Amino acid sequence: MLAPDYSARPKEMKYEFWSSLPFALVHVACLAVFLPGVGVSWPAVALCVALYVIRMHAITGWYHRYFSHRSFKTSRAVQFLFAFIGATAVQKGALWWAAHHRHHHRHSDQDEDIHSPGLHGIWWAHVGWICCEKWKGTDYDAIRDFAKYPELRFLNKNYLVPPLLLALVCYLLGYWMEVSYPALGATAWQMTIWGFFISTTVLYHATFCINSFCHIIGRKRYPTGDQSRNSLLLALITLGEGWHNNHHYYPGSERQGFYWYEIDISHMILKTMSKLGLVWDLAVPPAHVLEKGRQPLSAEAPQQAA
Ligand SMILES: [Zn+2]
Ligand SMILES: [Zn+2]
C-alpha cells in the first residue's frame, strides 16, 4: 500500500464504509455474549483483563515508547516479541503505528495532525481517522530505523496474522476448559468473545483516549505549543500514557510520569525488565525538564525541550 498523503486534507477526511467495517465488526462481535451458550464466567473475565493489560503494555511500552520514540534499547528477539504482541491488539503493525505517531508529534494540533480533537472534533480524533482510507498505508521513510528489519516489515504487512492467532488460542483454551473443567462454566466461544473481542474493544478505546481526551481534559504542566494534557485517570487506564503533556514536552523519556506521584505502570514494567537484562538504556527526563515542571506554567512562548 502507498504511503499516506498527509497533505490531502480536509476534504478527504471522511468515514469510509469498507475501511470501517472490520473495526465495526469487532464491536458488534462483543454482543455475542448475549447469545445462548456464550455468557460469562470468571475465567473469561480474567482472560479479558489479562489480555488487556499485556497488550496495553505492548502498545504503550513498545509501539509507543520503543518503536515511536526509541526511549530505551533491547535485543532483536525481544523487539520482535513485543512487535508481535502489540500486533495482537489489532492496531496494525508497529511500523505503521510508530510512523503515524511520529507524524503526530511533528504536527501536534496543527493543520497536518490527522487526529487533533481541537481541529477535527473529538470523535474524529478518537476513531474517525482510523475509518478513513487515507492513512491506511505506512510512511516507511518516517520509520527507516526499524523498517530495515525484515521481520518487522513482515508483521507490518501481515498485521492480521497475530490477532487471528490470538483469537484461535482463546478459542482452543476455552474448548480445553469446556472439556476438562466443565464446572468452571467456560466455553470456547465465551473465551473467544471475552478474551479477544471485548478485551480488544476496550483496549481500542482506552488507547484512542490519548489521541482524543488527552488533548482536551487534564492539566498542562509544560508549554508544549499544543493541547496535550496530563490526566491521572487516563494514566491509570492506559498504564501511564495519561501523562501526555509531559510526554509532548520531552518525548525522548522512557517514563512519562516524571515525578514519583505520577503513576506509570508501563514504566514499572520496563524498569523490572531492565533489572532482568531484557531492556536497557532507559532514557530519563533531564534535571532542567524536571525543575521546569515544578514551576508554575507561565504564558511564555511555547517551546519544547526535546
Ligand atoms: Zn498527543
Ligand atoms: Zn509519543
pLDDT in tens, 106-151: 887 777 777 777 777 888 888 888 888 788 889 999 999 999 999 9
Which structural domain range is residue 96 located in? 19-215
**Within-domain flag for 107:** yes
Q: Which ligand is nearest to the CA of 252?
A: 2
Asked, for residue 162, whether it belongs to a domain, the answer is: yes
CA of 254 to the centre of ligand 1 (A): 15
| Domain-embedded: residue 270 | no
Distance from residue 43's CA to the centre of ligand 2 (Å): 34
pLDDT at 4: 65
Q: Which residue positions in the chain have pLDDT lower than 50?
A: 301, 306
In a domain, 54, yes or no: yes
Do the beta carbons of residue 163 and residue 12 sit within 8 Å? no
**Residue 10 preceded by cis peptide, ω within 30:** yes
Structural domain count of the chain: 1
Question: In whole angstroms, what is the distance from residue 91 CA to residue 88 CA?
Answer: 8
* 94 neighbors 146 (Cβ within 8 angstroms): yes
Q: Are 120 and 89 in contact (CB under 8 A)?
A: no
Local structure of 293: helix, strand or coil: helix
Do the domain assignments include residue 111? yes
Q: Report the pLDDT value the prediction gives residue 13, as an integer from 0 to 100.
A: 73
Coil vs helix vs strand at 149:
coil
> What b/e string do you get for 85-111 counting C-beta neighbours within 10 Å, with b at 16 or more?
bbbbbbbbbbbbbbbbbbbbbeebbee
Structural domain contains residue 247: no
- Does 2 fall in a domain? no
* Ligand 2 centroid, distance to 104 Cα (angstroms): 8
User: 123 CA distance to ligand 1 centroid (A)?
Assistant: 15
Distance 245 CA to ligand 2 centre (A): 10
Cell 474493544: give the residue: 201
58 Cα–ligand 1 center, Å? 18
Mean pLDDT of the chain: 91
Tell me the β-bridge partners of 219: 230
Cα dihedral 205, 85, 92, 254, rounded to 10, equals 70
* Grid-cell match 504511503, residue found: 3
- The residue type at 162: P
Residue 110 region, left (φ>0) first, then alpha (ψ -120 to 50), else beta? Answer: beta
- Give the whole-angstrom CA distance, residue 179 versus residue 43: 14
CA of 16 to the centre of ligand 1 (A): 24
Q: Is residue 160 part of a domain?
A: yes
